[in-house]
Structure 1
Amino acid sequence: MPATLKVTHKAIGVEVRRGTYDVVVDGERAGSVALHGTFGTPVEPGRHTLKIRNGRNSSRTATFDAEEGQVIAFRCSGKNILPIFLLSFVMPSLAISLRRE
């Protein structure tokens, strides 16, 4: 029985980057998640990587372990305070944050 990976694109307040994000699992695009939406996909038990992309901007890579029947939930947001938002044009990895819930 596979595990389920859920990624929610949730913003509190003003969302700086409003576009749809690509969900990349183990280096392969698995789907996309829109603002205030949730994406879910089955994953096999074991260790996996997750990255969220929006054009040239991407999150840092998150690593997670999945067990049979488990639901692994992450939340992503493009909201950044102004200095980090401006710096994200020089360092795109700062543009999207990804947190495990």
Structure 2
Amino acid sequence: MSATLKLTHKTIGVEVRRGTYGVLVDGKPVGSLELNQSIDIPVIPGHHTVQVREGRNTSRTKTFDVVDGETASYRCSGKSILPVFLLSFLVPSLALSLKRE
């Protein structure tokens, strides 16, 4: 029995942070994600958390539930909106985001 977490590093408009994202599932490193790339991560069915990091910048932790055979998909992107970009220098946790697709 398994499920899948699919992450895509794709942006719309100007990408502020273009580096490689480290991916953590349930607090453990499971891989990395380049710009314009997708990865599929096998997970056991149930409740999980996902987070992406780039250097000192970390996304908020997102929780998700998957059942056997299901795929949970997220798009990862750096903030491209200027006020949020400027604020990200003061509050690094705003620098990355995960959006469920």
TM-score under structure 1 length normalisation: 0.96
Q: Does structure 1 conserve the Cα–Cα contact (< 8 Å) formed by 2:21 and 2:52?
A: yes
Question: For residue 18 of structure 1, what is the aligned residue in structure 2?
Answer: 18
> Structure 1 stretches (4+) deviating beyond 3 angstroms?
none
Distance in 2, matches of 1:72 and 1:58, equals 20
Q: How many residues align?
A: 101
Code of the aligned partner of 2:25: V
Q: CA deviation at 1:76?
A: 0.7
Q: Which residues of structure 2 form unaligned runs of 5+?
A: none
How far does the alpha carbon of each residue in 1:50-94 deviate from its partner, in whole angstroms, 9 at most, with x for none?
Answer: 001001101111000011010110001013211111111111110
* 2:28 is equivalent to residue 44 of structure 1: no
Question: For residue 90 of structure 2, what is the aligned residue in structure 1?
Answer: 90
After superposition, the CA RMSD in angstroms is 0.8
- Percentage identity across paired residues of the two chains: 62
TM-score under structure 2 length normalisation: 0.96
Q: Does structure 1 conserve the Cα–Cα contact (< 8 Å) formed by 2:5 and 2:41?
A: yes
Q: Which residues of structure 1 form unaligned runs of 5+?
A: none
Question: For residue 66 of structure 2, what is the aligned residue in structure 1?
Answer: 66
Q: Report the secondary structure of 1:83's partner residue.
A: helix
